[in-house]
Amino acid sequence: MSRASNLFQLCQIPSTNLLLRSSKFPRATNKLPRNTGMNVIPVWKLYPTLCFCKTVQTTTYEVVNGSYVPSTQTKQEKEMKDKSSAKLDTVGAFQKLPMVMPSVDILHSALRKAKRVLPTKGIANIAKRERNRGAKQLDALMKELVVPLRTYLESFPKKKYLHPYERSLIELTLGDGNYEEVLGNVDALRKKVVSVGKEHASFCAKSLTKREAEERLTEGVKKIEEVFNHEAQVVDDLLHIAKTLRAMPVVDLETPTLCLVGAPNVGKSSLVRTLSTGKPEVCNYPFTTRGILMGHIILNYQTFQVTDTPGLLKRSDEDRNNLEKLTLAVLSHLPTAILYVHDLSGECGTSPSDQFLIYKDIKERFSDHLWLDVVSKCDLLQKSPVVFITEDSPDHEELARYRKMGPNGAMHVSVKSEAGLAEICLVTSLENFFPLQLKVRVHELLTSQMAKIRSQNSNQENLVIT
């Protein structure tokens, strides 16, 4: 039998029967009478052995349970958690932002509440009572200023946990890095108020006389108020951010969305006003739409979303302004069906050839989206196509056809004369037309978009299960 097994058996023997044969433990000193043939092991030699055996057994148990059995389960649970968190990635964080108070209101409320703090009851000495009151009021003032700031920091989400669409809205609306900078400044103000408040409260608690305690209280309140007022603008900046983000339209990822896209001033906002409950501004100048505007359509007792987006110009993505990038963010991060609007009348300020190039670029980039083309202002279309002075002669056959009637399959409408709103001409070729209602086509498009969303959700659920 090995020495380790002997040690283990030894741990199992009661302390009253610790008798082993002398042949196995020759170093034993306490001996029984010779006729017993047994030796006694001293107690002081048993404690290290017992502790050693207990440590070995405990460590082995942890290694076995930590390395072999649970390791595979831990990986599976981690994978399931990652998949479930990916599925829960949704929008709506901006509507959960806290109501941020103006810095002036926070300060006045803190001063008012701090003055109500009374000294601890039972202090007979006037000096001790006054310094107790001063320390407690300074501590209360510090906490009344710090608690709202800490609440704001905990309630505002971090960008990395937001939906990609909402991250794009923050960057394009507030400026790149401005969101994190303001939150960092608020946290710096919080730490500074805590430091100054604790310092002056401790200083006031060491006062020796009543007058000294009163002077240190006044000095501490003045210093805390000065520190807060010096950096109070960051709280007002956070208030502005909260108002701006809460005003962003809420997009339901489970509801089919129709996104109107096109060059500036082609009539997208007019169509949104006609088709949905949305009431965007309509003016005769480019970039009337300065943000993402949301409306709703109710067709056959079903509710759908309609989004008006800023216009796109003919230029590379690096040269686009933030309004154009908002449009691309909607198309990139939201499951939308596209209603692309063309204006061939020459009234929008963008030439038909430039619109054609923009259209081809967007069509190729977002080819996986469901698509419907509409030519607006059809009452202004002339028999001969409009040609800008800066344009070259149309030698491209597809471009020449586009100048005259728009893309193949485009629907012609006019909001101003109401021509085509109740009955739209669907162009199947340059010679053949047949009437079709616009809302019917839009309803078909959104119904297809709903089926597409459900199919994607079903595939995600199957991935999580497997």
User: What 3-state DSSP class applies to 334?
Assistant: coil
pLDDT for residue 50? 43
More confident residue, 160 or 461: 160
Share of residues in the chain with pLDDT > 70 (%): 70
User: Would you tell me how many other CB atoms lie within 10 Å of the CB of residue 296?
Assistant: 14
More confident residue, 417 or 378: 378
Separation between Cα atoms, residue 277 and residue 303, nearest integer Å: 11
Separation between Cα atoms, residue 167 and residue 330, nearest integer Å: 11
Q: Is 222 exposed, middle or buried (0-12, 13-18, 19+ CB in 10 A)?
A: exposed
Q: What's the average model confidence in pLDDT over 382-387?
A: 58
Is residue 407 over pLDDT 70? yes
**Of 135, 127, 124, which Cα lies nearest the Cα of 210?**
127
Helices (H) and strands (E) in the chain, counts: 14, 11
pLDDT bin (cut points 50, 70, 90) of residue 69 is very low
Separation between Cα atoms, residue 149 and residue 15, nearest integer Å: 63
Q: What's the average model confidence in pLDDT over 384-395?
A: 55
Residue with tokens 């998949």: 83
What are φ and ψ of residue 298, in 5° steps? -115, 110
More confident residue, 273 or 71: 273
Q: Starting at the edge strand that comes first in sequence, how are the strands of the sheet with 38-40 ordered?
A: 19-21, 38-40, 30-31
Separation between Cα atoms, residue 309 and residue 328, nearest integer Å: 9
Q: What's the average model confidence in pLDDT over 320-328?
A: 91
User: What 3-state DSSP class applies to 46?
Assistant: coil
Average pLDDT, whole number, for the chain? 78
Is residue 370 over pLDDT 80? yes
Interval 200-233: pLDDT, tens: 999 999 999 999 999 999 999 999 999 999 999 9
Is residue 70 over pLDDT 90? no
User: Would you tell me how many other CB atoms lie within 10 Å of the CB of residue 204?
Assistant: 28
pTM of the model: 0.70
pLDDT for residue 288? 53
| 91 membership: H or E segment, kind and range | none
